[in-house]
């Protein structure tokens, strides 16, 4: 009997489709339409802000074609939360002008295709990237991309091709090949896959998100040629739409373009969700072959530019640190003014192999205007490399982290280590002083090794630009690191650096 992989479930998902009775809407008195808009906006705002539950995500989309006019997507911890959200909509005046032609109920999940260690309780065997990937699949946010496509699907159970008669090994191999196709769309497509076995007519609900709607067509088309789809995939109806903020509901009902100029952000006035990077693998994905999936949304501990733990603007502690360094005449970055966000992952794979993989992902990242830089830095003294990806927005950096966590040999992500971390990013050295800079680092490294609370410090060099340096340092506690920053030796190094660096370094804290 074929092995059924174990599963673990996360948030429940409702795709609530609505059609508008346009005749009734046109014939209604102005005050009724105004009330419907007011109550509809209030309902949607409340749920996008997740005021109805402890956690989750919601978003509203316009839908093209005759099958629906609106789509409201809810992710919540329980089925009861979804039921309440659905019924609360029915209490609004807007509901009187709508019908629900269809809906879809599902639950996010991870399966044994992802990691046997996860289900066997061998937590020590699960690396940080995989843990983040699993968390992101179970509790995904809704990406802030503008366009959405939804479709249900099942695995075929026919006389000739029956997915459930195959061995676990055969299924896993096909899913891995399927994921390789999806990798080509890293940075172009994000998705949420949720199981609907026992909940709805198909076995999975797949929701794709993209800035370019053509990419949604491209990935589905290309994946149709994979065995897992061509032989074993069965699909339901497809729906396509565009996200708009609740405040634009009146404009939508008036036939205007949405989002309007006043609300042209796909995540509206509430800031929206922070995108994830689930690979396109229709539920049964393997960790290293699911279409670029990785750590997403709730990955934790990310290093967004100058802000620790993925926060947009930095916390009080990091601001205090910067203030202390400023008093010492040491530049420590401006989290609000520089408007860049970084994610950093460390790999023990061969640098050449790692760079080849990163170069492929970077080619996709560069299609997006929010991408600033992605590079590989090699450590001088030990066998590990850092992958640094810089973006204009935190959600984009978080999404990139998802894809990058699938790279070979990933062992950790900056901000996840114990203690207090600090990185000096972008030490761009004048070429004539490169050797001096390395020698100076060796001298400082010797000092660090003798300091209380110091764990390790690496000097890393961009494999494409040897003048571009990256320093990662880890301490037991903030006070230990600050003792070094207050030292005469560090101040002397800072002064010396003014002559040898091509620009100012930026210190990034990952407390």
User: Would you name the residues annotated as active-site residues?
Assistant: 151
- DSSP letters, 211-262, are SSHHHHHHHHHHHTTSHHHHTTEEE---EEEEE--GGGHHHHHTT--SS-GG
Quote the DSSP letter at residue 142.
P
Whether residue 92 contacts residue 59, with contact meaning beta carbons closer than 8 Å, is answered with: no
Residues 469, 470, 474, 479: is their CA dihedral positive or negative?
positive
Residues 117, 123, 125, 131: is their CA dihedral positive or negative?
positive
SS3 content of the chain, % helix, strand, coil (to 5): 35, 25, 35
Closest listed residue to residue 466, CA positions, set 427, 492, 499: 427
First to last CA, the chain: 50
**DSSP reduced 3-state for 346:** strand
CA distances from 375 to 155, 386, 388, 413 (A): 39, 8, 5, 15
Strand 103-111 to 190-195 pairing: antiparallel
Whether residue 290 contacts residue 175, with contact meaning beta carbons closer than 8 Å, is answered with: yes
CA distances from 471 to 36, 302, 307, 348 (A): 56, 17, 17, 17
Whether residue 342 contacts residue 508, with contact meaning beta carbons closer than 8 Å, is answered with: yes
- DSSP letters, 183-213, are HTTTTT-EEEEEE-TTTSSSSEEEEEEESSH
Query: Helix crossing, 351-365 with 394-404: angle to 10°?
Result: 140
Compute the distance between CA of residue 458 and CA of residue 472 in angstroms, rounded to an integer.
Answer: 5
Whether residue 429 contacts residue 500, with contact meaning beta carbons closer than 8 Å, is answered with: yes
């Amino acid at each position: 009997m074929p092995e059924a992989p174990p599963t673990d479930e996360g948030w429940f998902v409702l795709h609530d489709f609505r059609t508008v009775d346009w005749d009734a809407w046109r014939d209604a008195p102005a005050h009724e339409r105004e009330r419907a808009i007011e109550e509809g906006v209030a309902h949607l705002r409340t749920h996008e802000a997740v005021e109805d539950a402890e956690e989750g995500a919601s978003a509203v989309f316009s839908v093209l074609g005759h099958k629906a006019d609106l789509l409201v997507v809810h992710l919540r911890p329980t089925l009861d939360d979804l039921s309440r959200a659905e019924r609360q909509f029915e209490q609004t005046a807007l509901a009187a002008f709508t019908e629900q032609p269809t809906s879809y109920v599902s639950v996010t999940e991870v399966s044994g295709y992802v990691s046997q260690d996860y289900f066997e309780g061998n937590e020590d065997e699960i690396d940080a990237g995989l843990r983040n990937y699993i968390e992101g699949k179970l509790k995904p946010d809704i990406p802030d991309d503008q366009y959405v496509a939804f479709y249900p699907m099942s695995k075929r159970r026919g006389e000739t091709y029956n997915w459930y008669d195959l061995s676990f090994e055969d299924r896993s191999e096909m899913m891995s090949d399927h994921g390789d196709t999806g990798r080509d769309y890293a940075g172009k497509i994000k998705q949420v896959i949720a199981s609907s076995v026992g909940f709805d007519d198909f076995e999975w609900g797949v929701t794709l998100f993209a800035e370019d709607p053509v990419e949604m067509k491209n990935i589905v088309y290309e994946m149709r040629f994979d065995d897992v789809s061509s032989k074993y995939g069965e699909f339901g109806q497809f729906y396509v739409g565009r996200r708009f903020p609740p405040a634009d509901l009146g404009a939508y009902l008036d036939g205007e373009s949405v989002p309007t100029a006043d609300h042209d952000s796909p995540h509206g006035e509430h800031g929206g969700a922070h995108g994830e990077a689930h690979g396109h693998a229709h539920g049964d994905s393997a960790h290293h072959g699911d279409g670029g999936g990785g750590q997403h949304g709730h990955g934790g501990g990310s290093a967004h530019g100058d802000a620790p733990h993925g926060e947009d603007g930095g916390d009080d502690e990091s601001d205090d640190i910067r203030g202390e360094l400023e008093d010492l005449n040491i530049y420590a970055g401006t989290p609000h003014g520089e408007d860049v966000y970084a994610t950093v992952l460390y790999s023990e794979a061969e640098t050449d192999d790692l760079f080849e993989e990163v170069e492929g992902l970077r080619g996709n990242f560069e299609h997006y205007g929010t991408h600033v830089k992605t590079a590989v830095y090699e450590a001088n003294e030990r066998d590990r490399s850092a992958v640094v990806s810089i973006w204009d927005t935190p959600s984009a950096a978080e999404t990139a982290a998802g894809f990058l966590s699938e790279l070979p040999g990933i062992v950790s992500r900056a901000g996840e280590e114990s203690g207090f971390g600090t990185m000096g990013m972008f030490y761009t050295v004048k070429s004539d002083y490169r050797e001096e800079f390395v020698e100076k680092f060796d001298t400082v490294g010797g000092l660090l090794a003798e300091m209380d609370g110091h764990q390790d410090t690496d000097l890393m060099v961009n494999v494409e630009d040897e003048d571009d340096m990256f320093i990662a340092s880890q301490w037991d506690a903030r006070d230990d690191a600050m003792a070094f920053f207050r030292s005469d030796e560090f101040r002397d190094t800072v002064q010396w650096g003014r002559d040898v660096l091509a620009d100012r370094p930026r210190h990034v804290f990952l407390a």
